[in-house]
Structure 1
């Protein structure tokens, strides 16, 4: 078994490290983190406006008075992500990030239709709709931002820019320096948009949404794909690699889009279209004690196991575990490279996720509304916030019972080994 683990570690570690250090995945992660405080604010507004014990009339009034808290943040999240991609990708090439960010954002907007059809079929010109700047425009926003930034940076690197003499204020000099790369990049996108609109009588938003975004979100919202992502996350952590950073950097854009679509449906009073969302992954996996759902594990170690070693590690991990930080138990039990713990470590998230999926699919428990809940929010409260229902918190309590049932026999074996070792030493 140890030989097998060593061979797997040799194979996985270089690949995982390369993936985790990938320039584009790192930029994408940082761009979403740039938008996080804004989406967090929008989520708080949504939760407050729709508290379950508020009458419908009050909810409507709050939506009118406070609704812009969501409209100006979560509903136009693609704007912040596009700017963030441009900013961080430009900085990764040691160029001025601010100008890269605004060029990326402007390039996305050039591809965005400034018109829409009303319910009566009347076309309104000179207006943007929030869905183009939110869930529906997410993938075109990311693609446009990456492409625009690469063009902008390459022109800048070739030295095709206006250099101002010394003594000119820095802000003026930087602006003139970015002038030719910015105009060139935006011209490319303007011509692309003109070609798509003029030759095909459509827009890239609809093309990307139909042929790329819908298939990818359909795949990302499926249970098999989710289980595969969880399996890979757990395996990577088992070998001491940060599974969330590596796997989520690939799948977060898809899960974020699914969350935004759920939020739009929730706000419109419609049936929630997805079970698997970013909120689901955070609230019903990480919020059960961190990666691997280990809050119940540290509780069992601290209060049920008998060996001093188990109790000490359990007590050490209990405080952080309440806030879903579980490095003390991952490295203290240990779980990393511990063959006796690999089965519950990998199996538990898969079993609990399947259970939660079917509980929500059957309507017994509510799906997540799409609001952003901080991953450090303690158990039960995070479930209520994510589903806008006390039933979400109750589902988390059921989850930790399942976690305990799976982990208990393995912890008991480890505990007996610790007691036996202590007896021999005495």
Structure 2
């Protein structure tokens, strides 16, 4: 618990989580555009026309997600230090762009200068963007805290005063990144984008896309929830950068008609774990409580939790059954997500069900609909139905045992009354 609390309260993990949430509405909009332009019943010519007309909706949101994340990191980290957030965000954003090569490769292999490649603003640039944003915001905040600012006299408009106060910290921070980029380009004839991508991002995403690492993350989520700690917030703050990067890789491949490179992505985790009733895939549990178990207390809990459970909100059953600190159901609580996730991975690896395309589906979308949207195939929804019954099968004997338990008798405490005393 001390470790879990430390992770949950860590400044940098909290900032990273908030930065990705800043980009969430934009990625959702881009995902809707991708769904519209790739509906399965459309002809290729119609898809091409829709992509030409609506494609910028996705290019301006999901394809450049790293830009929004870098700004968010700078903004929220500055706010955590009680420094003006908007300038911290702008400086982090600009620092990332300083390290970004303004060169792109055309279709014929010719390099074109003065342009930014979309992949460097999306999946490929995600980790260098996060590193640059954190470093830039730290430098900016530390310089600001030292008081190295231009002080304007009273009566100057607040906007002008804040701009001049940010001038020296911003110039010093951006100069550091300009020097770093100059050294990389002039001395090593390379750029930090490619270095970080090859040394850090590829190994991390390779690890994060593996089934063992995913099962370990799921186990920790379930284990922490058992003690009443929000496992997803704690674990996902570490794993989300990796899963989001894998999501963008899949989306890029999907747009260009290539084979999807990853099975484990953020949409996979949202759709085929949380999308089955919330953390622990408890929609099947709620249905069993409401319609199969006999005790009134469990029926009432199930029926109260059914409506939010359909939209993958399961706090009513986690704390109402309760699942928290309930040793009787610890085994299915931990086991069911691991079994179902392993099955889903193997089914997708075998090509029976297509993996998620990279489209971001809100975690509140009900079962079947979320599976179809995530995979662009009815097979995704069918797999969720299979998952539902597997979870029910795993949980059923434990819930029946819980249903048969007798109520704890009221403990009667006997007291010995001394002569002449009052009890």
TM-score by length of 2: 0.96
Shift of 1:310: 1.3
Query: Secondary structure of the equivalent of 2:160?
Result: helix
Q: Select which of 149, 166, 191 maps to 2:179.
A: 191
The alignment status of 1:346 with 2:334, answered yes or no, reads: yes
CA–CA distance in structure 2, aligned partners of residues 182 and 83 of structure 1 = 14
Which residue of structure 2 aligns with residue 222 of structure 1? 210
Which residue of structure 1 aligns with residue 48 of structure 2? 60
CA–CA distance in structure 1, aligned partners of residues 267 and 358 of structure 2 = 6
Q: Select which of 202, 206, 213 maps to 2:194.
A: 206
CA–CA distance in structure 1, aligned partners of residues 110 and 68 of structure 2 = 30
Which residue of structure 1 aligns with residue 227 of structure 2? 239
Worse-matched range after superposition: 128-137 or 117-126? 117-126
CA–CA distance in structure 2, aligned partners of residues 397 and 389 of structure 1 = 14
Which residue of structure 1 aligns with residue 293 of structure 2? 305
Which residue of structure 1 aligns with residue 132 of structure 2? 144
Q: Select which of 407, 420, 423 maps to 1:421.
A: 407
Shift of 1:422: 9.6
Structure possessing the higher radius of gyration over alpha carbons: 2
Which residue of structure 1 aligns with residue 420 of structure 2? none
Query: Secondary structure of the equivalent of 2:319?
Result: helix
Shift of 1:216: 0.3
The alignment status of 1:96 with 2:81, answered yes or no, reads: no
CA–CA distance in structure 2, aligned partners of residues 323 and 272 of structure 1 = 28
Which residue of structure 2 aligns with residue 315 of structure 1? 303
CA–CA distance in structure 1, aligned partners of residues 401 and 110 of structure 2 = 70
Which residue of structure 1 aligns with residue 8 of structure 2? 20
Cα deviation digits, residues 268-322 of structure 1 (max 9, x gap):
0000000000000000000000000000001011011111111111111101100
The alignment status of 1:380 with 2:375, answered yes or no, reads: no
Query: Secondary structure of the equivalent of 1:200?
Result: coil
- Structure 1: runs of 5 or more not aligned: 1-12
Q: Select which of 383, 388, 391 maps to 1:400.
A: 388
Query: Secondary structure of the equivalent of 2:100?
Result: coil
Which residue of structure 1 aligns with residue 146 of structure 2? 158
Equivalent residues in 2 for 1:332-343 (5 A)?
332-343=320-331
Alignment RMSD (CA, Å): 1.2
Which residue of structure 1 aligns with residue 413 of structure 2? none
CA–CA distance in structure 1, aligned partners of residues 97 and 172 of structure 2 = 16
Q: Select which of 56, 59, 67 maps to 1:71.
A: 59
Q: Select which of 43, 53, 56 maps to 2:31.
A: 43
Which residue of structure 1 aligns with residue 353 of structure 2? 365
Shift of 1:14: 1.4
Shift of 1:123: 1.5
Cα deviation digits, residues 304-349 of structure 1 (max 9, x gap):
1111111111111101100000011111111101111100000000
Shift of 1:416: 1.1
Shift of 1:119: 3.7
Which residue of structure 1 aligns with residue 261 of structure 2? 273
Q: Select which of 123, 142, 147 maps to 1:135.
A: 123
Which residue of structure 2 aligns with residue 252 of structure 1? 240
CA–CA distance in structure 2, aligned partners of residues 401 and 317 of structure 1 = 18
Cα deviation digits, residues 210-231 of structure 1 (max 9, x gap):
0000000000000000000000
* Runs of 4+ that moved beyond 4 A: none
Query: Secondary structure of the equivalent of 1:358?
Result: helix
CA–CA distance in structure 2, aligned partners of residues 304 and 95 of structure 1 = 56
TM-score by length of 1: 0.95
CA–CA distance in structure 1, aligned partners of residues 120 and 109 of structure 2 = 18
Which residue of structure 2 aligns with residue 7 of structure 1? none
Shift of 1:15: 1.3
- Structure 2: runs of 5 or more not aligned: 411-423
CA–CA distance in structure 2, aligned partners of residues 125 and 145 of structure 1 = 24
Which residue of structure 2 aligns with residue 330 of structure 1? 318
Shift of 1:60: 0.5
Which residue of structure 1 aligns with residue 114 of structure 2? 126
CA–CA distance in structure 2, aligned partners of residues 120 and 74 of structure 1 = 26
CA–CA distance in structure 2, aligned partners of residues 276 and 121 of structure 1 = 31
Which residue of structure 2 aligns with residue 167 of structure 1? 155
Shift of 1:56: 1.0
CA–CA distance in structure 1, aligned partners of residues 232 and 104 of structure 2 = 38
Worse-matched range after superposition: 70-79 or 327-336? 327-336
CA–CA distance in structure 2, aligned partners of residues 197 and 221 of structure 1 = 32
Query: Secondary structure of the equivalent of 2:187?
Result: helix
Query: Secondary structure of the equivalent of 1:124?
Result: strand
Q: Select which of 390, 395, 398 maps to 1:410.
A: 398
